[in-house]
Amino acid sequence: MRESLMDIIVCPVCKGTLELSIKEKEKDEIVSGSLFCSRCNFNYPIKDSIPNLLPPEMQS
């Protein structure tokens, strides 16, 4: 995902802002990392450049 997506991505549960932490980055593309919601205390993973924003109960 592009870092600029952070402006529009919100937590799917509480619609709060997410905190980005980057593990791997290529140019302006975030390849892996996570998006953390402090209100829900949940980490949404970013894998293969795709953020997994499924609610916690739907994450496999």
CA–CA gap between residue 37 and residue 28 (Å, rounded): 22
Report the residue number, 22 or 38, with the smaller CB distance to Zn ion. 38
Chain position whose Cβ is nearest to Zn ion: 11
Residues 8-47 that bind Zn ion (CB under 5 A): 11, 13-14, 16, 37, 39-40
Supply the minimum distance, in Å, between the C-beta of residue 26 and Zn ion: 27
Task: Give the Cα-Cα-Cα angle 45, 52, 9 (nearest 5 degrees).
Answer: 100
Contact 31, 25 (CB under 8 A): yes
Binding site for Zn ion (CB under 5 A): 11, 13-14, 16, 37, 39-40
